Amino acid sequence: MLQSRRTHNAMTPAKWQQALSALSRQDPVLKRLIKAHGTGRLRRRRDPFVALSRSIIGQQLSVKAAQSIWLRLVDMAGTIEPETIVASGIGQLRECGLSANKSAYVLELATHFLDGTIDTAIWRRLADEEVIQELTRLKGIGRWTAEMFLIFHLLRPNVLPLDDAGLQRAMRLHYGEGKALSRPRMRAIAQHWQPWCSVATWFMWRSLDADPST
């Protein structure tokens, strides 16, 4: 397990307002989107197991499809906890709409939480890339899933999930006149979002009504 003496604070409501002011000054597209969608803000998924499970389920699915599967899972398990997932087993997870691989990943994640293999307390003291390194050691968790965890559970302010389909689509719409943007071009645009890339990404999602947290 990586160790770090640095403290990485989550985004507070005051920081959120600071981010809105900065992004509105730095990017005219975001100024428009913040004016249109600025009444809400990023909300934390407080339970790390729920946050990771939802991200695994959401991989390569539309927001609507992922939400449908999640609701079936909640209906089946009652509460989404490591204990209820392990008790359900792969068969019931499959019946909720999870693929064989995702069922195995979520079940293994639950087992790790139960046996103490995963120590969530240290993650708050790690830098973003260190958290990603830790999480991607777990089966079924890639960089995108780790980035969603950073955004929605740890509320890190400066995460840019370039592999996210919603972000790609929104940036294509707002910055590319409908044409696909290269990763270097996306990074160049996002330079104007620093150090609030998570907030900018949230507004990109909002512009499509495609926030993965819903």
Does 129 share its domain with 33? no
Overall number of domains in the chain: 2
Does 71 share its domain with 32? no
Residue 139 lies in a domain: yes
pLDDT at res. 4: 38
Q: Label residue 17 by pLDDT band (50, 70, 90).
A: very high
Residue 123 lies in a domain: yes
Distance, first Cα to last Cα, the chain = 32
Does 146 share its domain with 53? yes
pLDDT at res. 213: 47
Helix (H, G, I), strand (E, B) or coil at 183: helix
CB burial of 131-150 (b: ≥16 within 10 Å; e: otherwise) equals bbebbeebebbeebbbbbbb
33-65 tens-digit pLDDT? 999 998 888 888 778 999 899 989 988 888 789
pTM of the entire predicted model: 0.83
Measured CA to CA in angstroms, residue 36 lies from 31, 64, 192, 206 at distances of: 9, 22, 19, 9
Give the closest residue to 138 by CA, choosing from 146, 150, 128, 148: 146
Does 27 share its domain with 55? no
Does 93 share its domain with 144? yes
Does 20 share its domain with 65? no
- Residue ending a domain, among 128, 152, 176, is 152
Q: What is the CATH number of the domain that holds 185?
A: 1.10.1670.40
143-154 tens-digit pLDDT? 999 999 999 999
Does 188 share its domain with 169? yes
- Residue ending a domain, among 134, 152, 170, is 152
Tell me how far apart the alpha carbons of residues 11 and 130 are, in angstroms, rounded to a whole number: 18
Does 131 share its domain with 172? no
Does 132 share its domain with 165? no
Q: For residue 12, what is the DSSP state?
A: P
Give the closest residue to 150 by CA, choosing from 4, 42, 5, 71: 42
CA angle, 52 then 57 then 58, to 5° = 95
Residue 88 lies in a domain: yes
Does 131 share its domain with 75? yes
- Please give the biggest Cα pair distance in the chain: 52
What's the rounded mean pLDDT across residues 81-95? 95
pLDDT at res. 212: 52
Which residue segment(s) compose the domain that 69 sits in?
48-152
Residue 1 lies in a domain: no
Residue 126 lies in a domain: yes
Is 78 exposed, middle or buried, given 0-12, 13-18 or 19+ CB atoms closer than 10 A?
exposed
Does 57 share its domain with 140? yes
Residue 186 lies in a domain: yes
